[in-house]
Structure 1
Amino acid sequence: MNGSYMLAVVGVGKIACDQHLPAIAANPGFTLVAAASRNAQVESVRNYTDIGALLAAEPGLDAVSLCAPNSTGGTARSSNGKSTSRRRMVYWR
């Protein structure tokens, strides 16, 4: 590892754009390399339309930050069957 965690963000909405992405960019301990969202993209990173595609294509990720609204029911599930609660905001490989 080069001193920073390779990170992806799932859910690119207003709060992610206004708060999560700037905080990640300001922290030298994280390198944002990918994002997954049905309706938005993040410039300068690889973008996917769902978490399953992201996890399948990005085996080198150290963590995934789930930026999902309460209305999603609090759980994200990938096509490989792994799931995580919204309360555990970062999924570690």
Structure 2
Amino acid sequence: MTKLYRSSTGKVIAEFDEMPSLLFVSNDGHGVFDDTFIDGEWQRKQRSITVHSEVGKATTYEQECYVLDIEEDEGQPVFDTDKFTYTD
């Protein structure tokens, strides 16, 4: 069972009996502050995700990620944004 509620401190809490395989949270609806978790791990390299869900069929998704090569340039990270696509 999944519960979504606001705590006494005002925080929104999502509570699950089991770890979700895929959890997508959009904070602003514009893709700027979206978070995706796969098997409980935050996907920091994610560029996009497409979820296919239909009654009576297994839910699948396609994920496009950045290949990150983090370097320092005057104290700021520089990212190599060559991308690859894979399907889980």
The TM-score normalised by the length of structure 1 is 0.24
Q: Which has the higher contact order (CA 8 A, sep 6+)?
A: 1
Q: Which has the larger radius of gyration?
A: 2
Please state which structure has a larger fraction of its residues in helix.
1
The TM-score normalised by the length of structure 2 is 0.24
Please state which structure has a larger fraction of its residues in strand.
2
